[in-house]
Structure 1
Amino acid sequence: MSLKDKATRVAILDTLAKTIADELKHAKADLEIGLRTAKAETGTQTITVDLLGTDIGKATLVQPKPAATVTDETALLAWVRTVAPTEVTTRLLTEIRPAWLAQLKKQIEAVGTAEWADPETGVIHDVPGIELVGRTAHTRLTVPAEGKQAIADAWRNRLLDTVVTPELPAAEQEVA
């Protein structure tokens, strides 16, 4: 293959890759909207992926659990100073030890409310400065090796032309 042929091949593959990437972004957004609608209307969160009559995988709307998020560092720091003063480090910057904060957030997420049980006294404290913040649902696509092989075979046999036809943009006119 000549250098010119190599350059042509790269230009073609680059153009197709960018076009497919854009098409994929829009297709994923459409899928997520569809899955959110299905969940709201029927409770459906998972659908099978079908290629030419064969199930090749699943698409699932994943709704992560809310994450404990520090929303008021000052209030949280003041509270930690009263219940666990050894977990506060003072330097030029005063902060809660990261390992302890991570453990606190993990416990709050497990309980599902911004409360902390003192392991020594058993007293349950409301934790200021941390809230459980919902995280955005996302779509998870699961295509096992057999499904990927089926897609590759269908591509080689030109059976995907009616399933996926990304539109290449019209050539832009250069202004002289």
Structure 2
Amino acid sequence: MSIKDTATRVAILDTLATRVATELKAAKQELQAGLKDAKAETGTQQISVDLAGRDIGKATLVQPKAAAVVTDPDALLAWVRTVAATEITTRLVTEVRPAWVANLLKQLTATGTAEWADPDTGVIHDVPGVTMQGRAAHVRLTIPNDGKQAIATAWQSGALTALVLPELEAGEQA
């Protein structure tokens, strides 16, 4: 293959990759919205993915549990001064050591509440400056290797043309 042919191939693949990435993003958003609707209507959070009647994987709506997030650093700092003053580093700016905050948030996330049990005293504290916030749902695709091979075979045979290519042709030029 000549350098000119290689340049042409790269230009085509780059253009197609960009268009496919755009279509993929839109399709994932549509899938997530559909799964959210299905969950609300019927409780369904997982659907099978099939190709020509063959089950090749599954799509699952994943709703992570709420995570602890610092929403008021000053309130958190004032509280840490009273329960774990050695975890505070003073510089030009006084802040709680990031590693300690990360561990605290991990503990609070695990318990699902903004209450911390002091390991030394056993006292339960409401942690100021930290709230539990929901996290965005997302879709997880699970396509095992044999499913990926089935997709590759269908692509090579042209069987995916009607499913994928019309959407690429119908979209606006990038």
- How much has 1:170 moved relative to structure 2? 6.7
Q: How many residues align?
A: 172
- How much has 1:120 moved relative to structure 2? 1.8
Q: Provide the residue aligned with 1:5 in structure 2.
A: 5
Q: 1:73 to 1:32 in 2, by over 3 A?
A: same
Farther off after superposition, 62-71 or 161-170: 161-170
In the alignment, the residues of structure 1 paired with residue 86 and residue 23 of structure 2 have an alpha-carbon distance, to the nearest angstrom, of 53
- Unaligned residue ranges in structure 1 (runs of 5+): none
Task: Look up the equivalent residue of 1:52 and give its one-letter code.
Answer: A
Provide runs of 4+ in structure 1 moved above 6 Å.
none
Aligned counterparts, 1:90-105, within 5 A: 90-105=90-105
1:42-63 CA-partner distances (Å, limit 9, x unpaired): 1111111000010101101111
Aligned counterparts, 1:14-53, within 5 A: 14-53=14-53
- How much has 1:171 moved relative to structure 2? 6.9
Aligned counterparts, 1:17-166, within 5 A: 17-165=17-165, 166=167
In the alignment, the residues of structure 2 paired with residue 9 and residue 102 of structure 1 have an alpha-carbon distance, to the nearest angstrom, of 47
In the alignment, the residues of structure 1 paired with residue 52 and residue 119 of structure 2 have an alpha-carbon distance, to the nearest angstrom, of 58
In the alignment, the residues of structure 1 paired with residue 14 and residue 102 of structure 2 have an alpha-carbon distance, to the nearest angstrom, of 43
Farther off after superposition, 103-112 or 62-71: 103-112
Q: Provide the residue aligned with 1:167 in structure 2.
A: 168
Task: Look up the equivalent residue of 1:129 and give its one-letter code.
Answer: G
In the alignment, the residues of structure 2 paired with residue 15 and residue 159 of structure 1 have an alpha-carbon distance, to the nearest angstrom, of 22
In the alignment, the residues of structure 2 paired with residue 4 and residue 24 of structure 1 have an alpha-carbon distance, to the nearest angstrom, of 30
In the alignment, the residues of structure 2 paired with residue 13 and residue 105 of structure 1 have an alpha-carbon distance, to the nearest angstrom, of 44
